[in-house]
Amino acid sequence: MSDSLDLGEPPQPAPSSPYRVLARKYRPRTFAELIGQDAMVQTLGNAIRRDRIAHAFLMTGVRGVGKTSTARLIAKALNCIGPDGQGGPTIDPCGVCEPCRSIAEGRHIDVLEMDAASNTGIDDVREIIEAVRYAAVSARYKVYIVDEVHMLSKAAFNGLLKTLEEPPPHVKFIFATTEVNKVPVTVLSRCQRFDLKRIPHDALVAHFAAVAGAEGVAVERDALSLIARAAEGSARDGLSMLDQAIAHAEGDGGVRAEAVRRMLGLADRGMVRRLLSAILGGEAQAALALLAEQHDYGADPQGILRALMETVHAITLAKHGGADPAAVADERAAVDGWAQQLGHARLHRLWQLLLKGHEEVQRAPVPFQAAEMALLRVIHAAELPDPGELMKRIMAGDMPALPAAGAPPAQADPRPAEPVAAAPTLPGDFPALVALLERGGRHGLAQRLHDDARLVGYAPPALSLAMHRPDSDSFVRDLAAALKAITATAWSITLSDQPGAPSLREQDLERERAARQDVLDTPIVRAALAAFPDAELIDHYHPQERKAAS
């Protein structure tokens, strides 16, 4: 029997650390790394330096702008003790002390994070209410971070109110939400609110470039611009797209703009300019061919129309001296050229037609066919003359009316033009307008204007009103339609936030009160009321009315 030699387990390869996505790896660790929120950082810094720290904070904004990251940074700033263990609250937490490291790693016993989306009930809040009575175990402050706080139930909000208004001095609340309109005003009034802005395009591009450099990946500037545009102000969304673009890149050539455009399903910007040029030139066949080409490359028809709208929007802004920071040089040159050629009326008409087409594509069972029909409609409208120019030509007699079916051909010698009927006279003042509606059978609208409308501005055919009671758009639409039917004139009607003049009903009541007071002030009535204290004035005539009646 031979002895066996035990060599033990064969050597194993060292376990590799799991990959961390860029959105987590480059989450801000200090306020200096929090991009695009300088105003909030300055306010928090001043509050900490002056020892004016609120007991509750509310962070609002779209997804990915740094609400939860800011909440954790505030928790670190309030509990940092410095490398020597002697520091106090600071806007620049050291990041090396035990509270800073444990908060960053999400394991600090006194910094509790709760997701309100999955803990919505009063029982979850009751646990917080019970726990706030006890002092922090090892930190300076016990911090409760509640994400998506708008998801709490009504009972949970009500249960939190008293504790939120008068918490113990060792407790701080930090709430984060993307839908601040769903947070009760009773909660809002007890919090110091910070509205985190969408991160500007240039700041996102610079941030993504720094991340790509830290990762050792070459990314084209136009590719970064495309990602920043698609991120819509969200750093987290942009980093997720950059992560995907790096994985999508082929070989060692880096991340190229064309690959990012295909990855995101975006329409090529150069194609968009060629497509808009074909539309403006009335080239239907060329426009449809460009649309089909981009559709074959995977571009979404709705995205193509959106890109056309963005270009029209950029042209309109360029007419007023504005510029798109995300536009490259050749795109900016094309936009400036169109801004000099196209008038405001044509640009607004293009915008409205593209907007309608975008909505139709969104609802259509076959989006590509709906996009084709929308482009054909835009091209057809682009060939029509401007409505203002068309009206001038009609008034000047440059566009004779077509003969009716079966009518004899027009004579060689034109007949003298008949005199144009005078434009209808518009009501001179607001009471006359109300009376006109009453005579026209629009009793409901007339009554509403008489009782509830406060006049802000009257310059026929423009009317500005402030209403006692909130109104839907249907009231303005119905009133405009009624006035147009009665006066044969299109009216511009707006609802204003200004206080306006007293309503006609209020004016009537004030005249009635003044007339009654005139009667009560006459000597004989005063004497009668003094002799008979229980007497009451039931009806009266105004002094002028008494004179007319006699």
pLDDT of residue 143: 93
Look at residue 278 and give its three-state secondary structure. helix
Residue 542 pLDDT exceeds 70:
no
Higher pLDDT, 547 or 379: 379
- 234: nearest Cα among 477, 462, 37: 37
Residue 358 pLDDT exceeds 50:
yes
Q: What angle do CA 256, 259, 265 make, to 5 degrees?
A: 140
Q: Domain 22-195: give its CATH superfamily.
A: P-loop containing nucleotide triphosphate hydrolases (3.40.50.300)
In percent, how much of the chain has pLDDT > 70?
83
Q: What average pLDDT does the segment 131-143 reach?
A: 89
Residue 404 pLDDT exceeds 50:
no
The pLDDT tens digits of the residues spanning 254-313 come to 888 888 877 876 666 778 888 898 888 888 899 999 888 888 877 888 888 988 998 899
The CA–CA distances, whole Å, from 453 to 96, 434, 442, 448, 482 equal: 64, 11, 16, 7, 16
Q: What average pLDDT does the segment 69-94 reach?
A: 90
pLDDT of residue 395: 62
Residue 144 pLDDT exceeds 90:
yes
Q: What average pLDDT does the segment 418-436 reach?
A: 71
pLDDT of residue 540: 54
Task: Give the mean pLDDT of the chain.
Answer: 81
Fold of 201-264: Helicase, Ruva Protein; domain 3 (1.10.8)
- Secondary structure of 441-509 in HEC code, one letter for each residue: CCHHHHHHHHHHEEEEEEECCEEEEEECCCCCHHHHHHHHHHHHHHHCCCCEEEECCCCCCCCHHHHHH
Q: What average pLDDT does the segment 509-518 reach?
A: 84
- The model's pTM: 0.57
Can you tell me the distance from the alpha carbon of 255 to that of 258, in angstroms, rounded to the nearest whole number? Answer: 9
The partner residues of 59 in beta bridges, in order of sequence, read 176, 194
pLDDT of residue 176: 92
Q: Read off the pLDDT band of 11 (50, 70, 90).
A: low
pLDDT of residue 63: 86
Q: Read off the pLDDT band of 95 (50, 70, 90).
A: confident
Q: What's the DSSP call for residue 93?
A: -
Residue 3 pLDDT exceeds 70:
no
Residue 175 pLDDT exceeds 90:
yes
Q: What's the CATH number for 430-501?
A: 3.30.300
Between 1.20.272.10, 1.10.10.10, 3.40.50.1010, 1.20.200.10, what CATH number should domain 273-387 receive? 1.20.272.10
pLDDT of residue 466: 85
The CA–CA distances, whole Å, from 511 to 84, 221, 430 equal: 79, 72, 18
- Which residues have a Cβ under 8 Å from the Cβ of 216 and sit 6 or more positions away? none
- 53: nearest Cα among 61, 44, 41: 44
Per mean pLDDT, which range of 91-105, 180-194, 411-425, 493-507 is the poorest?
A: 411-425
Strongest mean pLDDT among 154-158, 298-302, 382-386: 154-158
pLDDT of residue 541: 52
Residues 301 and 361: beta-carbon distance below 8 Å:
yes
Higher pLDDT, 374 or 2: 374
Residue 326 pLDDT exceeds 50:
yes
Residue 368 pLDDT exceeds 80:
yes
pLDDT of residue 385: 60
Q: What average pLDDT does the segment 71-90 reach?
A: 90
Domain ranges of the chain: 22-195, 201-264, 273-387, 430-501, 505-549
